[in-house]
Structure 1
Amino acid sequence: MPILPPSLDDRRFDDLVEDLIARIPAHTPEWTNPRLGDPGRTLIELFAWMGDALLYRANLIPERQRLVFLKLLGMGLKPALPARGIVSLSFAQETELGGHTLAPLGQLKAAVPFETLAETTVLPISAEAYIKRRLSSAELAKKSDVLHGLSRIHNISGSLKGYETTPVFAGGRAEPAGFDVFGKSADRALWIALFAPKAPKPEDQPATNIAAKAAMGGGDTGLPALLSVGIVPTIKAPTLFEQVSAPTSVPVMWEMTTRGRTERETDYLTLGVDGSTDTSKGLAVAGTLRLQLPDESLIWAPSNDVGVNPRAGVGDVPPRLDDAERASRLVGWLRLRPKTGENVTHLSLSWLGINAVEIDQRVTVSGRVLGSSTGAADQVFQLPLPSVDRDSLVIQVEEAGRGYQNWYRVDDLAAISGDVNVAREAPAYELDAEAGTVRFGDGVRGRVPEREMRVRLAVGRFGGGRAGNLPAGSIAELTARRIDGRAAPAIKVNQPLSLGGGEDAETLAIAEKRIPAMMRHRDRAVTEEDYRRLSFEAPAIDVGRVEVMPRFKPRDRRFNVPGVVSVMALPAATLAPAPNPRPDRPFIERLHAHLSARTPLATELYVIGCEYVPLGLSVAVTLREGFARDKVLLEVREALRRLLWPLAPGGLDQKGWPLGRAIRSRELEVEVSRVAGVDELRGLNLFQKHNDDWQKLPAIAADGAQILSLQPWQLPELLSVIAVDGPSAPTDLRALPNPFADDHAVAVPVVPELC
């Protein structure tokens, strides 16, 4: 039987009223009519209401005991996690021609609070990315005469490599599927054109360009500006059983064009990357980096006018821009290319932009007095908001003659130190991040703040939740201050990609469900069930299914390997047509990091996805009278999809199709027969993909039964299913004949007569 918290007294208001009325004859026999509205009956109901309230409070004692039990286990509720992302900034007024370095924690206008995470410099320039796209064989053949003429014009004696200037991430938009900026280019380089703002009058454009260059070079400050660049590498699902490790940096270099020996020659300056602020880890993950720009006197771009510069776009120079308006605003070029000697042939990016900054879903509170100490032990102070970021929290306590002093956070006041004297005088506090409370010691385990001394929140960041997972284009404005404290000009925000990673705070009901698992594994992965339960507790990912395969080495497809544990995990998803859910690289990296910190030292841990085997089905049924044909056939297809779905409610036990279980046609036929409206099953065929074509599986018995065998690490993926109302199941999935066509006649169009 289930273990439920007992109710100390299960009587309610009505029970108390009936009990009191039943006692009237024994105590006041002269009161013979206790009807509704009678003053005595009103007093009875009043006391019953008060008694019901007292019983409700008494019944909360088991609930309180459970909360105390959670605290004894050290199982505080998990705080909310913030959504994160990258945005690019620009001045709202194009007349703004100065560079402004913004302080972190600027506030963005959105449905929920967001703030910038780091210092960033907004320059009065915009950027557009281009590649020199290689021409295809067909294009080369078509333009052979043109290329031959160009080789004579430019006096090129060697081979000619034609290209087409192609914009990438046009209009600041992202390419979620990714774009290989090195693999698709003729010179393995990404070119970023830097443009000054458009001047009110064409004749003022040269002066505007000079002002933009001055802002880039630092102007009269003598300190060149830092250009903030946002990078989002394309996130793809890892190959089957690929060993996912920490992302490695890409060996690339950033360069800027400068004037060569003559007006027609282009040289390049190598730009340094501020390593302390490179959150992209060398273009390995989504993040920002800051490039150290040269002095404005060195910033230069070659002319795109072939009348002035006949070799514009020829050779190892930036691509030629044929748009006269853009060319008039061009102030410089950035080039991203592999380092010399490094064999980097591909770089897939989803987005790149300048004036970029990372943001997250939090709000900063500072300088807030939480209260005054009473001098008692175990004092608890409430922070202004729940779900606090532990790393950003700074708590200060006032001390006589010294002012506010920083105290430090510990996970458990009872475990500060084994030395009694050290523990007694430790200026420490304990934090409940989800509830937003801080607790001080009792004089034995942690110092007690002196009486009437104030406790202050120096700084802390709060927030998070699924509400912050906003789609692209949800944020448009930023309110920020410069590093000198003055207000920054009005700033526009371009949000090219959706924000993700936000999770709601853990509820008490969910935390209570973790009690049995915590008692079993104590946050250590030893048994298969430990790995499974810990996987579902991984932060910032939504795990839908976990299978633990002990002693299985994925890359070798080999079992019985001592010391190896493989965890197959799939992200949560709703039942839908193909494709089936697949884990991407961040999903596997986060789950691996969560589990590896909890596995024994000698365990060789792998976190993998599953291998899907393509499957096609065709089924023929006859229908019962009174049922709609299209609806029944749709339900037949959905029943088969639901049965073969890898997550709940799929599978035979509604927990997903079992890993490695063979697909038997007879089991599928039973599922089809259960669909309401199916009168008779006329046939069912299984198909397997072979060289991009479907092949019917052979029968294994005289009655035509089929089976698709799977390896222990495989699951089926239903890519095609055809259900028909007819005498037999189709034997070809590529095309379904039109039932209304006439096999004995040829359709011929007739031209109508016109008056």
Structure 2
Amino acid sequence: MGLDVPELADREYEEILEEAQKLIPAYSDEWTDFNPHDPGITILEVLAWLTETYVYQLDRVTDDHREKYLRLMGENPRPPGQATTRVAFTPQGDTAGCRVPAGTKLTVTDTTGETCRFETDHDTALTAAAIRRVVTVGEAGQTDNSHANRTDEMYYRAFGDDPSVRDTLYLGFDADPFGASDRLTLMIDYHDEDIPDPAPSRTGDPSFDPSVELAWEHRRKRDGAWVGLDVRRDGTNAFYEGGHIELSRPDDREQTRGTELPVDDAPSEHHWIRCRLVRPGYEIPPQIDAIETNAASASHRASVSGERLEQVGTLDEPTALDGQTFAFEHSPILSARVTVDGERWTEVPDFDASGPDDEQYVLDRDDGSVLFGDGINGKVPPSDATVVADYVYGGGDEGNVPQSAQWRFTDGTTSLDGAGTLDDITVSPTRPATGGTDGESVEAALKRVRRDLRTPHRAVTTNDYRAIASRTPGVRVDRTNVVVADEQITVVAVPYAPPDVPKPEPSEGFLRAVKRYLDERKVLADRVRVIAPRYVGLEVTVTGRTRSQYTDEGHEAAVRAAVEEYVHPLNGFDGNGWPFGRPLFDAELRDQIAGHDVIDRVSDIDISAHGGAVIDDGVVRIDEMSLFYVEEVITDLAERATPSGGGV
């Protein structure tokens, strides 16, 4: 049952005036003229009109009220989203070996002539060396990905389809990548078009620490020895996402590994860097669109330092200082640091809890202004105060500029380590800028919070545990199941994996992330563990007859595909994955195989299971923590004879 909200503005002007006129005799029996020309009646009409306007406001809820409600719930309208893109640098002259620092300002002019500001997100060490070869070496052999690495609309898997220990990615350069600098920046363009985004974090802090371990090495040209590289920064989170990797120049004093180069290197002038998979555990084999040098990510924002803010309006009297407002030159504001006469003041959402001596201010990000207190709630700055701000502005839909936009350095005269200036470097985008969004309105924020209220954030029931585990930030949880037994809550987590992965296995880091997320939201006394699914391997032998119009080569593959598609953990059965604990009936599997075009008839089917299943009279039974995967499919298929005359 909902609350009955009272209507406070329940009387209109005429009713208020009529009631006031009826009360006149109770206060003055000499009042005889009730016509509009009477001054007393005129005064009553004015007061009735004022009363109606005040009563009308009682039922009005403004955006200021709504923002208060949002803050009471720990929420605020979201700020503008920053558009991002990748830019490529082409060094000229002596600039190879220099560094383009993080925060380097870029000016972008789109096709309409409008300009906006971008900044680089990280340092970029420039090099004259280019990547010519990309080779993956593993148990399955050697795969040359060089063409895919330099071709749009193509991607490759850095460590193959099934990454395992000692699988290695080799990068061959046409020159020494450390020839002019002690650092090397590699930009990894991750292919994520065919996979879901990981769950976002409400706080913005990542909660996933991969258990995968990588080792980067450089091959010395003089003796062929592999020398370890220091990873100064890994923005890819061990190849779980796109970003940049910064490697430091090898030190000859470091311990070296052998001199083997299991790569066909006909032009022996290549300089090699490799990345070895020391500890595997990828849920999704790393998929790469390209690995590039001399590239950086850039975001739609601009930083301003030491701007003196101008007061909005003028002071009529030296004492009228309360509620002063100062304006920024640019907006919307993403972050700001405000000082008054050299002293840093503190930003607060409002002055409700501020005292008369609290050096605080309220920042209006959309409008680009700062409001100070009135001496009762919040301290009043002096009349001659100097208000200075360091701030970052930007974001919004206007940052989504096309790839055809013109890019240049805002201040091309900036020197680079004494070796040339930014003007000696050509900058160009490698893609359009995307992801820019305008700031969230109060109405949209309220709708989002209402939706969020219907989402469980405290794990009490088994459905709560399933829902919360599936939203673990930083990872891609495809399916979950919850089993409660002996006061122990067991959450089975299955990660997303591409369709060609028959047995999706979560890594230790994946399980830790889910466990940590649940621990923060479970009831205090609950004992929770998070495990990988138990996989029951199936060996299926199929005897039957094929249709004569199909070639022999496709029969066995078609039968195996039919079995795998039916029992697949993520998209089998009804398309949502094989249900946890559901038994497999040989009659159902027979029907699945027989329904395939190449099969004319299935005469017999035999199923063997490994990994904790019980087989009873053609039924393979598993527990609620188990799923199936296909180990082997053996076929004994005879071709259906073609009748005389060529009929089928």
TM-score normalised per structure 1: 0.48
8 Å CA contact 1:89–1:356 kept in 2: the answer is yes
Whole-Å Cα distance in 2 between the matches of residues 377 and 512 of structure 1? 32
Residue 10 and residue 178 in structure 1: after superposition, are their counterparts in 2 closer, same or farther (change >3 A)? Answer: farther
8 Å CA contact 2:91–2:128 kept in 1: the answer is no
Q: Deviations over 1:406-427 (max 9, x none)?
A: 33445676568xxxxxx65443
Whole-Å Cα distance in 1 between the matches of residues 524 and 274 of structure 2? 45
8 Å CA contact 1:501–1:540 kept in 2: the answer is no
> Which residue of 1 is the match for residue 106 of structure 2?
107
Alignment RMSD (CA, Å): 6.6
8 Å CA contact 2:136–2:160 kept in 1: the answer is no
Whole-Å Cα distance in 2 between the matches of residues 499 and 608 of structure 1? 40
SS at 2:244's partner residue?
A: strand
Q: Deviations over 1:464-522 (max 9, x none)?
A: 56985x99x788855365764743434344648x987766543333333466688899x
8 Å CA contact 2:336–2:392 kept in 1: the answer is yes
Whole-Å Cα distance in 2 between the matches of residues 194 and 102 of structure 1? 21
> Which residue of 2 is the match for residue 489 of structure 1?
424
> Which residue of 2 is the match for residue 456 of structure 1?
388
More strand by share: 2
Residue 334 and residue 559 in structure 1: after superposition, are their counterparts in 2 closer, same or farther (change >3 A)? Answer: same
Residue 588 and residue 334 in structure 1: after superposition, are their counterparts in 2 closer, same or farther (change >3 A)? Answer: same
Whole-Å Cα distance in 2 between the matches of residues 395 and 10 of structure 1? 47
Q: Deviations over 1:639-698 (max 9, x none)?
A: xxxxxxx9xxx99xxxx99x9999xxxxxxxxxxxxxxxxxxxxxx987886898699xx
Whole-Å Cα distance in 1 between the matches of residues 222 and 388 of structure 2? 57
8 Å CA contact 2:187–2:293 kept in 1: the answer is yes
Q: What's the offset of the Cα at 1:117?
A: 0.7
8 Å CA contact 2:120–2:298 kept in 1: the answer is yes
1:180 to 151, 159, 170: 159
Whole-Å Cα distance in 1 between the matches of residues 163 and 489 of structure 2? 40
> Which residue of 1 is the match for residue 146 of structure 2?
167
> Which residue of 2 is the match for residue 191 of structure 1?
170
Report whether the alignment pairs 1:407 with 2:345. yes
SS at 1:511's partner residue?
A: helix
Q: What's the offset of the Cα at 1:194?
A: 2.2
8 Å CA contact 2:89–2:427 kept in 1: the answer is yes
Whole-Å Cα distance in 2 between the matches of residues 168 and 542 of structure 1? 30
Q: What's the offset of the Cα at 1:91?
A: 0.9
> Which residue of 1 is the match for residue 409 of structure 2?
479
8 Å CA contact 2:228–2:250 kept in 1: the answer is no
SS at 2:445's partner residue?
A: helix
> Which residue of 1 is the match for residue 60 of structure 2?
61
1:354 to 293, 300, 303: 293
Whole-Å Cα distance in 2 between the matches of residues 110 and 608 of structure 1? 52
Residue 5 and residue 80 in structure 1: after superposition, are their counterparts in 2 closer, same or farther (change >3 A)? Answer: farther
> Which residue of 2 is the match for residue 116 of structure 1?
120
More helix by share: 1
Instruction: Give 1:63-78 correspondences, 5 Å limit.
Output: 63-64=62-63, 65-78=65-78
TM-score normalised per structure 2: 0.54
8 Å CA contact 1:77–1:508 kept in 2: the answer is yes
Q: What's the offset of the Cα at 1:290?
A: 2.0
> Which residue of 1 is the match for residue 236 of structure 2?
280
> Which residue of 2 is the match for residue 127 of structure 1?
131
8 Å CA contact 2:137–2:167 kept in 1: the answer is no
Whole-Å Cα distance in 2 between the matches of residues 122 and 414 of structure 1? 51
> Which residue of 1 is the match for residue 445 of structure 2?
511
SS at 2:221's partner residue?
A: strand
Equivalent position amino acid for 1:90 in 2: F
Equivalent position amino acid for 2:260 in 1: D
User: How many residues are paired up?
Assistant: 500
Report whether the alignment pairs 1:525 with 2:458. yes
> Which residue of 1 is the match for residue 633 of structure 2?
none
Residue 435 and residue 567 in structure 1: after superposition, are their counterparts in 2 closer, same or farther (change >3 A)? Answer: farther
> Which residue of 2 is the match for residue 302 of structure 1?
none
Q: What's the offset of the Cα at 1:228?
A: 0.8
Q: Deviations over 1:531-586 (max 9, x none)?
A: 8999999999999x999x7xx2xxxxx23464748699999xxxxxxx9xx99999
Q: What's the offset of the Cα at 1:118?
A: 1.6
Whole-Å Cα distance in 2 between the matches of residues 60 and 449 of structure 1? 36
Whole-Å Cα distance in 1 between the matches of residues 488 and 350 of structure 2? 34
Whole-Å Cα distance in 2 between the matches of residues 559 and 101 of structure 1? 56
Residue 133 and residue 747 in structure 1: after superposition, are their counterparts in 2 closer, same or farther (change >3 A)? Answer: farther
Instruction: Give 1:332-411 correspondences, 5 Å limit.
Output: 332-338=271-277, 342=278, 348-350=286-288, 351-372=290-311, 376-377=321-322, 388-389=333-334, 393-399=335-341, 404-410=342-348
Residue 62 and residue 537 in structure 1: after superposition, are their counterparts in 2 closer, same or farther (change >3 A)? Answer: farther
SS at 1:509's partner residue?
A: helix
Equivalent position amino acid for 1:316 in 2: E
8 Å CA contact 1:104–1:117 kept in 2: the answer is yes
Whole-Å Cα distance in 2 between the matches of residues 689 and 430 of structure 1? 69
